[in-house]
Chain A
């Protein structure tokens, strides 16, 4: 009886998923309610988890709870520790959820809400979650080894080294692009800039509080920090209205970029307890709180989506970034559907904490589904804006014009009505001078979130507060990734340089620390500066570069995953990782090729350089030409690096499947668990 009821329930969930997907996809001409997107995504995730992921767990991986995990076998009280699966889930989700799933879907909404929504849900269920799950499984069976170590041992030395260099390069581009998102959100915004500047002394205060005044009281310090940050958001309005103080915090893009570079250097060089640790605690709690708040807001308000399912920009002429729906929708969504960076987390802390193999299903696959749902919420928030407002905020001045009348006329010409008065009124409501040309996705997402928060709590007067609260959340979140990423980059560089001169590899040697920090900061700082001076807003070139890099890292992870599956089962189950791998390779190589060689200057870096070189020559033009060629070279390097790993992997698979190579596994031998029951 129970079995029959279960089947009926799952049939109902599957039908609800199909029906809601149909409602979302078929709707034309009238606004779709966001409830359909929520039902379609949640039901699809449930079906994917119950049937596809569990099939892989049982048949492909043969997860075995009788087998001792690294957390049990190598238990040391530090890194390896058997931990309750829900705690590991929370830890893993907090580590994988970055700003990408918020910004990417917001930018990809230029194609309309439909392509992005479909890719977020389908891509996560069949690609992103599979990658996270398989890599977690691989690491779990290999003493918690990292992606780089697994690449070296499973694929070969070339693959391992290439993976390390790829990660370092991707990190530099990532830090630059997320820095640019912050710069564009805070440019000429004294309220926003004040709030974010205030988070620095607040973090230092928290650090001192935790270190000397109340050691170990993280919850207490985080609560005080949160209250102070909220006070800063509230006080920012008074700062913006003060004729004396407002100019101090009214900063240009270049000034903000310089401030970020200095901040990144300090964060990388100062002791962790002073700045990095308190910011990390604060950011983690704010992040989880806002995600829950946004989810509750969407369920309460159920906003209609104002953007159409498809816009005219699927033809590649979009103002936010150039390029057709294939491949650029997939490149832009990035982390919301598939993220190569997750493989670093899945082969980092998480496998060292899991007490049972079966828990890898919920933690590895389930966490990615939750991240995908965060991306769906961001898409809903962005798509609930009026299309004219969405494009006015996100389009660079170089495309629509700097004057409000010119910008609104251009956008109205595209078929999205918006007036200068409407934009001016909206800017007044949120306490900004202007909302035109605020590229990067953060301001439009903040507007969408503020609308949802205001609608669910009432009180239009709080629109400005909620807008700046959302900006604070995004910037805090991004800066935490930026300072932690700079530090990780510094360690990676020191590791690499340490091979040449061992002293440089010592992380306690101050000249080495300062030198490596400076190199990393200047590397991402250069790309950030390049984005700031770009007349097209920078996002047009840097976000696709980041997207390509991130998806290529996912391709590296899937190569490793496929190699593991081929060694386990031959060709039988290699489709599990090969299908998303083939798709990602097609997407990334098409996008990379177009970004380098497209004859359209808005799309192809080389064409853009040629066009600039043919025009009037100034010092700025020379820099822009160099930057475009540099971007082309970086894209080319990414493609070559990943092609190297791909070829190496295919060689290994062909050898194993053809019988010319022994399928030598590095899986640790079975040891029965002694843990009596789940912790």
Chain B
């Protein structure tokens, strides 16, 4: 039972990370072979939102 709740919690945390772009940021850091810094975050924000803001939103 404990393992089940741990798994649920892990999934919820991962969903939160995905929705808050934390996973995307990790992928960005890995793809660029770099580590977190304010400049890198700003670069990620600009790249990520340039693509994200082009996607249609549902009604």
Show the binding face of A for B, using Cβ within 8 Å: 76-79, 81, 83-84, 86-87, 90-91, 94-100, 167, 171, 174, 178, 210-212, 215-216, 218-219, 222, 272-273, 276-277, 281, 284-285, 288, 334-335, 339, 341-342, 344-345, 348-349, 480-481, 484-485, 487-488, 491, 507, 546, 550
Contacts and interface: CB of A to CB of B under 8 A. Distances in A.
Contacts of B57: 95, 98, 341, 480-481, 484-485, 488
Contacts of A210: 41, 45
Contacts of A83: 18, 23
B6 interface: no
B59 to A, nearest CB: 4
Interface in B36-52: 36-38, 41-42, 45-47, 49-52
A78 B24 CA distance: 7
Contacts of B46: 272-273
Interface string B14-49: 111111111111011011000011100110011101
Contacts of B59: 98-100, 174, 178, 334-335, 339, 341, 481, 546, 550
Contacts of A76: 31
9 nearest interchain CB pairs?
A77-B31, A90-B15, A272-B49, A218-B20, A215-B41, A344-B56, A215-B38, A100-B59, A98-B59
Instruction: Give the secondary structure class of A's interface.
Output: helix
B58 interface: yes
10 contacts: A83-B18, A178-B59, A215-B41, A216-B41, A273-B49, A277-B49, A284-B19, A335-B59, A339-B58, A487-B53
A345 B53 contact: no
Given A272-B49, A273-B46, A488-B53, A91 B19 contact: yes
Contacts of B19: 90-91, 94, 281, 284-285, 288
A171 B46 CA distance: 25
Interface of B: 11, 14-25, 27-28, 30-31, 36-38, 41-42, 45-47, 49-59
A378 to B, nearest CB: 14
A342 B49 contact: no
B15 to A, nearest CB: 4
Contacts of A79: 51
B28 A78 contact: yes
B8 to A, nearest CB: 9
A484 B42 CA distance: 20
B5 to A, nearest CB: 15
Nearest to A334: B59
Contacts of B47: 78
A417 to B, nearest CB: 35
B11 to A, nearest CB: 5
Contacts of B20: 218-219, 222, 281
A86 B15 CA distance: 7
Contact of B58 (A87, A96, A273): A96
Contacts of B28: 77-78
Contacts of B30: 77
Contacts of A97: 58
Contacts of B15: 86-87, 90-91
B49 A90 contact: no
Given A77-B28, A349-B55, 14 more contacts: A86-B15, A91-B15, A91-B18, A94-B19, A96-B58, A167-B56, A215-B38, A216-B25, A216-B36, A272-B52, A277-B49, A281-B19, A345-B56, A488-B54
A77 B27 contact: yes
Nearest to A88: B18
A179 B17 CA distance: 30
B58 A272 contact: no
Contacts of A77: 27-28, 30-31
B22 to A, nearest CB: 6
